[in-house]
C-alpha cells in the first residue's frame, strides 16, 4: 500500500498542463466577436483560464470568463473544438472553444468590457480571423467556426490543426 506522502510526491511530480476555455460569439451577419487584451499583442475570443482548483469545468470557465470580460452571461452551446497546444517557455495548453451563439442588437449594445484586462472589442468577418488571431489561436478559431457552420462534430486539434 502506498502512503499518502508517496502519493502526494507522485502527484507533485506529474507534468503540468494549462487549461483554458473560450466562447465563440457572433452577430446575425456571422461576424465573430473578438476582444483586445491589454497584457499581450493581438486579439482573442472572450475566455481564459479554467480554475480547476475551484472545481470549475471548461464550460463553466468559458461562461464565467465571458461574463467577466464582456458582461454577457449566457448559456453556451456545444463544444466546437479542443486544441492541444505545445508552448515554448510554458507547459502545454489544452484549449476548449464553445458556441456562444448569435448575439442580437440588444446584447451587442450591452457589451461591457472588463477594463482591467481588455482595451476594446470588435466584430470580425470569418475570412479576417487569421489576420487578428496569432498562430494556433487563429487556426483554432477558424476551425471552430468551420465546424459550427458545417454542423460537424467537435474538432480535435493539435496546435490549431487536425492531427494527421
Below-70 pLDDT ranges, the chain? 1-2
Extents of the domains making up the chain: 17-158
Buried b (16+ CB within 10 A) or exposed e, 102-119: ebeeebbeebebbeeebe
Question: Which CATH code of 3.30.230.70, 3.40.640.10, 3.90.79.10, 3.40.50.2020 fits the domain covering 17-158?
Answer: 3.90.79.10
Per-residue pLDDT at 2: 61
- pLDDT tens readout for residues 68-112: 999 999 999 999 999 999 988 889 999 999 999 999 999 999 999
Per-residue pLDDT at 9: 86
Burial of residue 123, with CB atoms counted within 10 A of its CB: 0-12 exposed, 13-18 middle, 19 or more buried: middle
User: Residue 143 has which C-alpha cell?
Assistant: 476551425
* pTM summary value: 0.92
Amino acid at each position: 500500500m502506498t502512503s499518502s506522502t508517496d502519493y502526494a510526491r507522485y502527484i507533485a511530480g506529474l507534468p503540468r498542463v494549462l487549461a483554458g476555455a473560450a466562447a465563440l460569439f457572433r452577430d446575425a451577419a456571422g461576424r465573430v466577436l473578438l476582444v483586445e487584451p491589454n497584457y499581450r499583442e493581438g486579439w482573442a475570443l472572450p475566455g481564459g483560464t479554467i480554475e480547476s482548483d475551484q472545481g470549475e469545468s471548461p464550460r463553466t470557465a468559458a461562461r464565467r470568463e465571458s461574463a467577466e470580460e464582456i458582461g454577457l452571461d449566457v448559456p453556451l452551446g456545444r463544444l466546437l473544438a479542443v486544441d492541444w497546444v505545445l508552448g515554448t517557455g510554458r507547459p502545454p495548453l489544452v484549449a476548449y472553444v464553445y458556441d456562444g451563439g448569435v448575439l442580437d442588437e440588444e446584447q451587442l449594445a450591452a457589451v461591457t468590457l472588463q477594463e482591467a484586462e481588455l482595451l476594446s472589442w470588435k466584430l470580425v468577418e470569418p475570412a479576417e480571423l487569421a489576420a487578428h488571431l496569432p498562430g494556433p489561436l487563429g487556426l483554432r478559431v477558424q476551425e471552430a467556426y468551420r465546424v459550427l457552420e458545417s454542423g460537424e462534430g467537435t474538432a480535435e486539434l493539435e496546435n490549431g490543426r487536425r492531427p494527421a
